[in-house]
């Protein structure tokens, strides 16, 4: 239940009129979809807002994603803002845009919405401290401090790269780069002996490109990836203008319950309730559509029932093995028995990933059979032999969901840092706020749908909850919000209960935090974006139950 203290109208604080000019109502961290949407909407509502971005330009992860082959895995028009002033004068060249085009898109967003004057680029946030007496945050950046009433980190789930602790890694004398920190000038892979450690999304994408030019490419695979066909296509201007005629209806559907995607509806039936012929017809239709359709838009219980899940895995396995001539390689890439339930690790999208293993210059190193023992100045050593390399690419992913926010030294009540509070696991209320850290509002963070919700959709729908909250607080002359301990405990337990109803806990994945040694294994993303968004609406209607506002 909401708790409100009586407010004396003569002493109520109005940050707009009484605080120093260096203070803001809201400081946003991060210029990705969430950060830009918050800036756009909060500014329109009359708040004094500043957005701080560590990179030299907008786009969040898409500003830094410059490794070969980097592109989004959600197709347009799902992966863009729904505001007509943004899409009216923008035309995509591909169904799944690459990183360069996405960077151009974010620059267009800033220009179309006239956001530039309220963004500070090249400004990395190092920490923040909350003063409960003044009811404000002091945010420390590498170029100075700034104060605000509300702090809104919009860091996404993939803002801190993860590199495993491999013996001798720092001794490698050749070029060594993590895909998340790729040099802006690029890396010449032509004619080189290249090794790629990791077969997640960035691994799949960089392997496809490196295979075209490397003298020899070694793909170090620990766990097979269940990559799905991208079904990429190009658009000329006329084709895209024709597509935009359907945008209003597509965005209406995308932003309405259940939300997230405009054209990916699941059948409300079990995979086991139909004949094998009917089931395979549904699978085939989704397969041909490409993208995440086969993952998210077939039967209702693929991620809930192991027997149903196995039918999807077997279909994927047989489709994939048909492209691989060598039986040993086929078994390593698409094992007879599933290494984890299908879809419980985020599927990557591929264009010719499995085909490159037919090339003479590409070698698969199966780390399940022969783990890496050490890195030398010139090679990667495994139990199966030595691989001499000129370039080593670490496609080892991220300290997902929590790494980005914990990289900022946040101190709440009594000086307690967030890192201490979360030392034994994450707890939030609705994935939006943490007890002990008043006026801190998280977007696209842990215990919200995040990786299970299309980014721009969540930026708009989850983001509107924040906008409405701050408007209502201003109308009531309230200046402080904090989640209660009871609400956070209940929400953390609820996320675990919902997760246990699915197959996600059966896989070791970054959804569960288990890709980073020492990190508590727990469900870090709410697995049903439609149910979550409904809970947000209910929470607002119930006057923000589980929060104390005063």
Q: What is the 3-state secondary structure (H, E, C) of 68-87?
A: CCCECCCCCCCCCCCCHHHH
282 and 337 housed in the same domain: yes
Place of tokens 């699941």: 266
Tens of pLDDT, residue by residue over 90-110, are 999 999 999 999 999 999 999
Instruction: Note whether residue 114 is domain-resident.
Output: yes
β-strand 409-411 against 125-131: which pairing, if any? parallel
CATH at 47: 3.50.50.60
Examine residue 297 and state whether it is found in any structural domain, yes or no: yes
Mean pLDDT of all residues belonging to the chain: 94
Which range among 17-26, 33-42, 127-136, 252-261 shows the weakest confidence by mean pLDDT? 17-26
Specify if 7 maps to a domain: no
Q: Are residues 98 and 133 in the same domain?
A: yes
Separation between Cα atoms, residue 355 and residue 377, nearest integer Å: 31
Phi/psi of residue 422, nearest 5 degrees? -95, 15
Assigned domain for 218 exists: yes
Provide the domain limits for residue 310.
169-394
Give the pLDDT band of residue 259 (cuts 50, 70, 90).
low
* Same domain, residue pair 316 and 460: no
The answer to whether residues 439 and 517 belong to one domain is yes
pLDDT digits (tens, 9 = 90+) for 283-325: 999 999 999 999 999 999 999 999 999 999 999 999 999 999 9
Q: Does 6 map to a domain? A: no
- Last residue in a domain, options 339, 369, 394: 394
3 state SS of 330: helix
Q: E strand or H helix at 216, and its extent?
A: strand 216-221
421 and 385 within one domain: no
Q: Give the 3-state secondary structure of 359-410.
A: CCCEEEEECCCCCEEEECCCEEEECCEEEECCEEEECCCECCCCHHHHCCEE
The verdict on 498 and 533 lying in the same domain is yes
Residue 279 belongs to a domain: yes
Do residue 197 and residue 341 come from a single domain? Answer: yes
Judge residue 253's burial from the number of C-beta atoms within 10 Å of its C-beta, 0-12 exposed, 13-18 middle, 19 or more buried.
middle
* Residues 170-218: tens digit of each pLDDT: 999 999 999 999 998 999 999 999 999 999 999 999 999 999 999 999 9
208 and 345 fall within a common domain: yes
Joined together, the tokens standing for residue 368 give: 């399940």
Question: Are residues 380 and 413 part of one domain?
Answer: no
pLDDT at 519: 95
CA angle 84, 85, 86 (to 5 degrees): 85
Element of type H or E holding 465: helix 455-475
Domain end, chosen from 379, 394, 409, is at 394
Mark whether 257 and 190 lie in a shared domain: yes
Kindly state whether residue 106 falls inside one of the protein's structural domains. yes
Q: Give the integer Cα–Cα distance in Å for 400 and 65.
A: 16
**Contact present, 259 and 529 (Cβ < 8 Å):** yes
Assess if residue 425 is contained within a domain. Answer: yes
Final residue belonging to a domain, choices 368, 394, 420: 394
Match 């085009």 to its residue by tokens. 101
Whether residues 187 and 90 fall in one domain: no
* Pair (101, 188) in one structural domain: no
Q: Are the C-beta atoms of 454 and 251 separated by less than 8 Å?
A: no
DSSP 451: G
Token pair 């509806």: residue: 265
Strands 23-29 and 119-120: unpaired
- Candidates 305, 283, 277; CA nearest to 295 is 283
Mean pLDDT value of segment 441-450: 96
User: Contact at 8 Å (CB) between 376 and 369?
Assistant: no
Q: Which of 436, 453, 435, 304 is nearest to 444 (CA)?
A: 453
Using a pLDDT cut of 70, give the percent of the chain over it. 95
CB distance 12 to 477 below 8 Å: yes
Place of tokens 């890396």: 187
Is the pLDDT at 161 greater than 90? The verdict is yes
Cα–Cα distance, 139 to 152 (Å, whole number)? 11
Reported as a single tens digit per residue, the pLDDT across 388-433 is 999 999 999 999 999 999 999 999 999 999 999 999 999 999 999 9
Nearest to 177 by CA among 392, 399, 396: 392
Structural domain count, the chain:
2
pLDDT band (50, 70, 90) for residue 7 = very low
pLDDT at 260: 67
């Amino acid at each position: 239940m909401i708790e409100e203290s009586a407010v004396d109208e003569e002493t109520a604080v109005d940050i707009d009129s009484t605080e120093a000019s260096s203070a803001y109502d809201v400081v946003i961290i991060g210029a990705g979809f969430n950060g830009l949407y918050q800036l756009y909407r909060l500014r329109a509502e009359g708040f004094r807002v500043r957005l701080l971005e560590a990179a030299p330009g907008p786009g969040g992860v898409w500003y830094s994603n410059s490794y070969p082959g980097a592109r989004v895995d959600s197709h347009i028009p799902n992966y863009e803002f729904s505001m007509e002033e943004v899409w009216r004068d923008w035309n995509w060249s591909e169904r799944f845009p690459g990183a360069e085009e996405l960077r151009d898109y974010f620059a267009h967003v800033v220009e179309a919405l006239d956001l530039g004057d309220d963004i500070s680029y090249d400004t990395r946030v190092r920490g923040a401290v909350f003063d409960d007496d003044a009811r404000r945050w002091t945010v420390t950046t590498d170029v100075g401090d700034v104060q605000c009433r509300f702090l809104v980190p919009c860091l996404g789930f993939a803002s801190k790269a993860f590199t495993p602790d491999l013996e001798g890694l720092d001794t490698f004398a050749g070029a060594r780069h993590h895909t998340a920190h790729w040099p802006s000038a690029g890396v010449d892979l032509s004619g080189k002996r290249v090794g790629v450690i990791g077969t997640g999304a960035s691994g799949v994408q960089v392997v496809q490109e490196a295979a075209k030019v490397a003298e020899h490419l070694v793909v170090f695979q620990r766990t097979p990836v269940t990559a799905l066909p991208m079904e990429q296509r190009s658009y000329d201007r006329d084709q895209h203008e024709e597509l935009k005629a359907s945008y209003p209806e597509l965005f209406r559907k995308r932003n309405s319950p259940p939300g997230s995607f405009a054209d990916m509806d699941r059948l409300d039936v079990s995979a086991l309730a139909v004949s094998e012929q009917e089931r395979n017809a549904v699978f085939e239709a989704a397969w041909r559509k490409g993208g995440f359709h086969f993952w998210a838009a077939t039967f209702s219980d693929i991620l809930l029932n192991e027997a149903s899940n196995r039918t999807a895995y077997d279909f994927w396995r047989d489709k994939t093995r048909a492209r691989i001539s060598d039986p040993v390689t086929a078994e390593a890439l698409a094992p007879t028995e599933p290494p984890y339930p299908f879809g419980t690790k985020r599927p990557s999208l591929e264009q010719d990933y499995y085909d490159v293993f037919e090339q003479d210059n590409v070698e698969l190193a199966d780390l399940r059979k022969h783990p890496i023992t050490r890195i030398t100045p010139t090679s990667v050593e495994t139990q199966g032999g030595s691989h001499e390399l000129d370039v080593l690419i670490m496609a080892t992913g991220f300290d997902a969901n929590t790494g980005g926010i914990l990289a900022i030294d946040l101190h709440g009540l009594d000086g307690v840092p967030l890192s201490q509070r979360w030392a034994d696991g994450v707890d939030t209320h609705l994935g939006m706020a943490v007890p002990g850290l008043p006026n801190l509002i998280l977007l696209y963070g842990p215990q919200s749908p995040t990786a299970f919700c299309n980014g721009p959709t969540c930026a708009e729908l989850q983001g509107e909850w924040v906008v409405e909250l701050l408007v209502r607080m201003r109308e009531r002359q309230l200046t402080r919000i904090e989640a209660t301990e009871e609400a956070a405990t209940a929400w953390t337990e609820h996320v675990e209960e919902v997760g246990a109803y699915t197959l996600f806990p059966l896989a070791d994945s970054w959804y569960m935090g288990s890709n980073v040694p020492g990190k508590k294994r727990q469900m870090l993303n709410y697995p049903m974006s439609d149910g979550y968004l409904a809970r947000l609406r209910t929470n607002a209607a119930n006057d923000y139950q589980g929060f104390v506002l005063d």
